[in-house]
Amino acid sequence: MRACLLITMIFLWSLQSGFSQTNVTLKLNPLLGSYPFALNQVLSDTAGNYFAFTRLEYYISEIKLIHDGGQETPVTELFLLVNPSVKSDYHLGSFQINHLESVQFSLGVDSAHNHLDPATFPPGHPLAPQDPSMQWGWTSGYRFLAVEGISGFSESSLPDIFQFHTIGDQNYRTVTLPLNIDAVNDQILIPVDADYLRLLDNIRFWGGVISHSTTGRAAEMHANLADYVYTVSIPTGISEPNAIGSILAQPNPVTDAATITYSFPGWNDLTVSIVDINGRAIMARPLQESEGQILLPMPYQSGVYLAVIQSKGRIIASTKLVVQ
């Protein structure tokens, strides 16, 4: 009996050892529109308001990898304190993954950890005490998002401050990004563009605004983080000529139909897909040219979707699309 059990254990071990471990890294490419992200970089909006970010920090937790035919692998006990002015690459761990289909992560700190004492975590842990502080107190929990800056009506004079600190379990939001990435040399890099300029979409930030809250503009800005900031980057390391392109969905938000304008010179066998928040493609159309426009009906439930451009089944670009 013991011999049979031992043989079974050895057999199972041999099966597991046949699968190689893949190192998975999340790369957040920080942007401010068409510019690389930088604190104190003065920009302006269409209304003539000048502004600059002086602080941007937020939490990512409960990361989940969907791979190899829908298998789900949680990245347990990993919290990321994202500060785009300091770091952009985050090692998620080593997993038995050959093909990554989507990544899911939540913005904020889950309720099981949100109300713990930061002093219980070792120095260097993202949930340990930070300077400046990312914790509001045991009752309110952590600041899910901390955005601060200065604004004014002249590039040389920015006298007003703005602060948006989002707190509260009700603001915990989940993002799902569809992927199509094979492991190469036991490595997977998840390339994600993070355009933090979209945090300010439809937010009145000029004139001196302070919102530290579970509701109001602080909550709206955190919703913008989930709905508008992230898109899958064009994969790096691709050798095709002119491997640069663009995709734009208008109007956005959309109610009945959206025009997708795209340009990917040098690419062929293109398709455009609409992907829901669970990473499922609910519509796909072939694109006859490497650049042009296509009108897509949007008879879908209200929510956040992705318009995804693929070449020969490989994702090369995507953009968020909000259906109202």
CA dist 262 and 81 (Å) reads: 34
CA dist 290 and 242 (Å) reads: 11
**Helical H runs in 155-296?**
216-228
pLDDT at residue 277 in the model: 65
CA dist 148 and 140 (Å) reads: 19
pLDDT at residue 242 in the model: 33
Instruction: Compute the CA torsion angle 165, 169, 175, 181 (nearest 10 deg).
Output: 100
pLDDT at residue 17 in the model: 42
Q: What CATH number is given for 246-323 in this structure?
A: 2.60.40.1220
pLDDT at residue 179 in the model: 87
pLDDT at residue 267 in the model: 85
Cβ-based neighbour number of residue 185 at 10 Å? 8
pLDDT at residue 160 in the model: 96
pLDDT by 10-residue block (mean), the chain, 324 residues? 44 46 93 91 89 98 95 96 93 94 96 96 97 92 98 93 98 92 87 93 93 97 95 52 68 90 87 76 85 90 84 77 86
Look up residue 302 and give its DSSP letter.
S
Please give the model's pTM, rounded to 2 decimal places: 0.72
pLDDT at residue 243 in the model: 41
Beta bridge partners of 272: 285, 309
The answer to whether residues 179 and 281 touch, using CB atoms and an 8 Å cutoff, is no
Residue 46, judged by CB atoms within 10 A of its CB (0-12, 13-18, 19+), counts as exposed
pLDDT at residue 303 in the model: 80
